[in-house]
């Protein structure tokens, strides 16, 4: 069940966006491909074995989500993040970007303002602009060598916005937001009736000295949560 993390795997000519797409993106293949979130480690043996067993069946029809998937997801969130999730809260989705777009369209009307906190994963911006919502930027501040939320400016934005797209832990600055910071966010959200969409896809990729806090566990009235197939989640929590 162990995995090797020092094995160099050649991914050329595998239709890899990260490697085979370099020439289209940069005009040359002579670059180190650090431009896309794509692991170069081999998948765990249990995963490749399960895929091989499924592929051995010759019919690839439509499939449903088995009960075991929901059970594993609920158990993971409870054990790893202390979040008790009900099955009826879960909506499977194809990935982060479709979830961002779906949430913006579901909870903000065309023309309403949605807050993002740059520097941040670029689809946060396009999820707002592509759907006809108004983009409000609340840039993170550099303080003592690390990024922090500008809460004073955020409150000014919240007074005229419908939603905040929160990245927690933050990509790309790497901040794991601490519980007091998240509680401050929720106080602002409650004051201005601001809905927070919390993208927590990187919740399980943090250093041991840090602890991720799921925003929904702090909210007074957490509502529908959108969970992708990854054990981490996307949750919408009002203040």
Interval 174-222: pLDDT, tens: 999 999 999 999 999 999 999 999 999 999 999 999 999 999 999 876 6
Three-class SS state of 192? helix
- CA 146 vs CA 2, 150, 165: distances in Å: 35, 13, 20
Burial of 51 (0-12, 13-18, 19+ CB in 10 A): exposed
The continuous run of DSSP H or E covering 116 comes out as strand 113-116
Spatial CA neighbour of 96 closest among 65, 127, 69 = 127
Structural domain boundaries of the chain? Answer: 7-63, 67-238
Model pLDDT, residue 57: 96
Q: CA-CA distances (angstroms) from residue 90 to 228, 230, 235?
A: 9, 12, 10
Tell me what pLDDT residue 34 has: 86
Helices marked H in the chain: 17-20, 22-26, 45-55, 67-81, 96-107, 123-129, 151-158, 179-192
3-class DSSP state for residue 81?
Answer: helix
Residues 230 and 202: their CA atoms lie apart, in Å, by: 10
Mean pLDDT, rounded, for 29-39:
87
- According to CATH, the topology of domain 67-238 is 3.40.640
Q: What is the pLDDT of residues 105-155, one digit of tens each?
A: 999 999 999 999 999 999 999 999 999 999 999 999 999 999 999 999 999
């Amino acid at each position: 069940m162990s995995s090797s993390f020092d094995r160099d795997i050649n991914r050329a000519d595998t239709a890899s966006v990260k490697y085979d797409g370099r020439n289209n993106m940069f005009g040359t293949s002579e670059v180190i491909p650090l431009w896309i979130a794509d692991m170069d480690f081999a998948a765990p043996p249990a995963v490749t074995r399960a895929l091989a067993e499924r592929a051995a069946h010759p019919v690839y029809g439509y499939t449903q989500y088995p009960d075991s998937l929901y059970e594993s997801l609920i158990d993971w969130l409870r054990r790893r993040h202390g979040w008790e999730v009900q099955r009826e809260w879960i909506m499977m989705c194809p990935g982060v970007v479709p979830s961002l777009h779906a949430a913006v369209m579901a909870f903000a009307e065309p023309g309403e303002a949605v807050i993002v906190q740059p520097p941040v994963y670029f689809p946060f911006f396009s999820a707002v602009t592509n759907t006809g919502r108004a983009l409000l930027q609340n840039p993170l501040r550099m303080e003592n060598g690390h990024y922090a939320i500008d809460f004073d400016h955020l409150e000014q934005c919240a007074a005229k916005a419908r939603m905040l797209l929160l990245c927690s832990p933050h990509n790309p600055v790497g901040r794991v937001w601490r519980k007091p910071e998240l509680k401050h966010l929720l106080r602002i959200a409650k004051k201005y009736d601001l809905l927070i969409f919390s993208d927590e896809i990187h919740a399980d990729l943090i250093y041991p000295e840090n602890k991720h806090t799921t925003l929904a566990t702090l909210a007074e009235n957490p509502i529908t949560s959108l969970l992708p197939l990854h054990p981490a989640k996307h949750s919408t929590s009002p203040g």
